Structure 1
């Protein structure tokens, strides 16, 4: 009996420790990703060409997606470049077949709208201009370093795709 209680306590302590170190889930699985993109595009238009829409496509099921979100949020240099130049959204992609035919079609339509970025793995970044056209798809593996991301590479990526840089004014 003591052994069982000990194992249960150990399991609980491990679970609590994991919960404290778990990364924040940033993908809202309840909203329609197409509507989310449309809203971000409308917000970008209000910014009068000063911002593009950056879609971080992935899901809460993807540890690398959550690591990236945490990384750019906690680095003030990167966070500033992002907030100054992008309407940044986390677009939930659910590739599971458990949602049935309708969910599978919605996921396929989403990927088509974004230029089929899933071929690069997740997270993948899709940059849209204010008209909703895909300007660039970024494979996140080129931004990785070890079990995280490289600050210089991430900053270079974001700075290279600002509206000023793309429009030739940087």
Structure 2
């Protein structure tokens, strides 16, 4: 009787183990929107030079691959042609990583420590590289995510043309 119980127990244990292994969720590919190894200073400097030449501003999205809100914002922009086109037509865009791997300490200081507002956080630079606005992304949310309408209003309010004195008389 003991042998039968032991054999039965071994059979059940092996069966449960096999079922558990087959029901493991597929491993997710790591998100790679932000590059912790990127040279944020060089990326920003290049974007500022391009923005100055094109009469644009620089839109900086600070966040990390660890940040679900950062990823959701990035995906929303990619999935919304109106936003994506507006950003591309009116801004030079830079993604700045902030993570345990690379906190970009010097760049964060240069940008006025935008992480104090949480992540993602958006920084607008003029064509000379001067910080003209830091945007807490929480104010661009509606419901359970970022609002396309609020993001668009924000972007329209900080273009190079929007802040020209002659356009605000």
Task: Compute the TM-score of the two structures, normalised by the length of structure 1.
Answer: 0.83
State the secondary structure of the residue aligned to 1:79: helix
Does 1:155 pair with 2:166? no
Of residues 23, 48, 69 in structure 2, which corresponds to 1:41? 48
Query: Does the CA-based 8 Å contact 1:44-1:53 persist in structure 2?
Result: yes
State the secondary structure of the residue aligned to 1:163: coil
Structure 2, unmatched stretches of 5+, are 1-13
Deviation at 1:147, TM superposition (A): 2.6
Q: Distance in 1 between matches of 2:59 and 2:51?
A: 10
Query: Aligned residue for 1:167?
Result: 164
Q: Distance in 1 between matches of 2:33 and 2:47?
A: 16
Q: CA RMSD in A?
A: 1.9
Query: Aligned residue for 2:5?
Result: none
Query: Aligned residue for 1:71?
Result: 76
Paired residues, number? 154
Query: Aligned residue for 2:3?
Result: none
Deviations 1:95-136, CA, capped at 9 Å, x for gaps = x2xx6xxx66xx332111001111100000000011110010
Deviations 1:31-85, CA, capped at 9 Å, x for gaps = 11111111111221221x1x11100001111110010011011111111211110
Task: Compute the TM-score of the two structures, normalised by the length of structure 2.
Answer: 0.83
Query: Does the CA-based 8 Å contact 1:53-1:86 persist in structure 2?
Result: yes
Query: Does the CA-based 8 Å contact 1:126-1:136 persist in structure 2?
Result: yes
Say which structure is richer in helix: 1
Query: Does the CA-based 8 Å contact 1:25-1:66 persist in structure 2?
Result: no
Runs of 4+ in 1 over 4 A off after TM superposition: none
Query: Aligned residue for 2:92?
Result: 87
Q: Distance in 1 between matches of 2:112 and 2:17?
A: 53
Does 1:126 pair with 2:123? yes
